[in-house]
């Protein structure tokens, strides 16, 4: 792949030890599938990330998933796993939980979630094919496997917003999903803090979904060169409109990361 021309990318390539590479998980490192529990990482991603990690200042996955789930889905029996990527940090639950060097740090679960667990099954009753994903610090309602995913999502939006208001949670919309999660953290704040912590001199962030827009904002707001990469899909177009580089889904992200690694290795 020919690397696209972009000033943020050029800054990253010129000074890789100061670069932070931020990546979303679902839709960016892993292809979208019907069952969230089966969203395995692109098979070549861990190997490419392991090579890239040797050259850059830091690699961070910023995801709505719990870090433990991202690690499990990023495991491979035949090659490197996500956990093998040197120095990798995973900021899960939009930055609420952190995995690093084999340890997870997490706040206690928000109390309003108990009520959500009781009420959600009642709200979705009657909507065929809807899936509730309990993630510990958040609960997501998926409509991808319902007969009319878009219409079901729209019908559920009001009742789920009401439940969020009653329980002190916020609604995080995504690709055929509405998630109830605690307020106060988002991918933008998580990424900004990580950039400050690492004293980053450049940043790249790749994402595919609405929750990644906050990280795009953080790239723009950071006082360092940055590049926003969209893992393109027909499902969400808002990111492509704001991206500096658009690639073709997780395979395109892996291709871009590989091309960056090759350039840094002079190969």
Ligand X SMILES: O=P(O)(O)OC[C@H]1O[C@H](O[C@H]2O[C@H](CO)[C@@H](O)[C@H](O)[C@H]2O)[C@H](O)[C@@H](O)[C@@H]1O
Rounded Cα gap, residues 181 and 141, in angstroms: 11
Rounded Cα gap, residues 258 and 58, in angstroms: 16
Closer residue to ligand X, CB minimum distance, 44 or 133:
133
Between the CA of residue 62 and those of 4, 187, 251, 253, what are the distances in Å?
24, 6, 19, 15
Closer residue to ligand X, CB minimum distance, 11 or 21:
21
Structure token digits, residue 128: 């065929």
Rounded Cα gap, residues 113 and 72, in angstroms: 24
Contact between 20 and 203 under an 8 Å Cβ cutoff? The reply is yes
Closer residue to ligand X, CB minimum distance, 24 or 97:
24
Smallest distance, ligand X to C-beta of residue 135, A: 6
Contact between 149 and 155 under an 8 Å Cβ cutoff? The reply is no
Rounded Cα gap, residues 55 and 167, in angstroms: 45
Q: Where does this chain bind ligand X (CB under 6 A)?
A: 24-27, 32-34, 36, 39, 63-65, 133, 135, 140, 142, 144, 174-177, 179, 209, 211
Closer residue to ligand X, CB minimum distance, 11 or 63:
63
DSSP letters along 160-222, please?
Answer: HHHHHHHHT-EEEEETTEEEEE-SS--HHHHHHHHHHHHT-SEEEEEE-SGGGHHHHHHHHHS
Closer residue to ligand X, CB minimum distance, 140 or 219:
140
Smallest distance, ligand X to C-beta of residue 184, A: 17
Closer residue to ligand X, CB minimum distance, 11 or 113:
113
Closer residue to ligand X, CB minimum distance, 15 or 133:
133
Q: Which residue has the tokens 């997780």?
A: 250
**SS3 label, residue 122:** helix
Smallest distance, ligand X to C-beta of residue 210, A: 9
Smallest distance, ligand X to C-beta of residue 131, A: 8
Q: Which residue has the tokens 């094919």?
A: 129
Smallest distance, ligand X to C-beta of residue 51, A: 22
Smallest distance, ligand X to C-beta of residue 248, A: 16
Smallest distance, ligand X to C-beta of residue 231, A: 9
Return the closest-CA partner of residue 10 out of 170, 227, 179, 157: 227
Q: Give me the residue whose beta carbon is nearest to ligand X.
A: 64
């Amino acid at each position: 792949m020919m690397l696209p021309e972009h000033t943020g990318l050029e800054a990253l390539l010129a000074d890789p030890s100061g670069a932070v590479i931020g990546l979303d998980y679902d839709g960016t490192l892993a292809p979208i599938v019907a069952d969230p529990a089966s969203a395995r990482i692109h098979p070549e991603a861990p190997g490419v990330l392991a090579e890239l990690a040797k050259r850059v200042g830091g690699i961070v996955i910023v995801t709505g998933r719990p870090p433990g789930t991202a690690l499990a889905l990023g495991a491979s029996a035949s090659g490197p796993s996500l956990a093998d990527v040197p120095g990798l940090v995973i900021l899960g639950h939009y930055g609420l939980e952190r995995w690093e060097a084999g340890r997870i740090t997490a706040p206690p679960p928000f109390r309003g979630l108990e009520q959500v667990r009781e009420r959600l099954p009642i709200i979705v009753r009657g909507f065929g094919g809807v899936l509730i994903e309990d993630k510990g610090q958040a609960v997501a309602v998926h409509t991808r496997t319902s007969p009319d995913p878009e219409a079901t999502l729209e019908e559920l939006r009001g009742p789920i917003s009401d439940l969020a208001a009653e329980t002190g949670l916020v609604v995080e919309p995504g690709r055929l999903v509405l998630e109830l999660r605690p307020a106060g953290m988002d991918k933008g704040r998580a990424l900004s803090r990580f950039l400050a912590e690492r004293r980053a001199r450049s940043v790249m962030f790749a994402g595919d979904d609405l929750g990644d827009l906050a990280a795009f904002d953080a790239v723009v707001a950071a006082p360092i060169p940055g590049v926003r990469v969209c893992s393109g899909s027909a499902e969400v177009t808002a990111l492509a409109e704001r991206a500096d580089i658009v690639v073709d889904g997780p395979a395109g992200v892996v291709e871009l990361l590989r091309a960056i690694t090759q350039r840094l290795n002079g190969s």
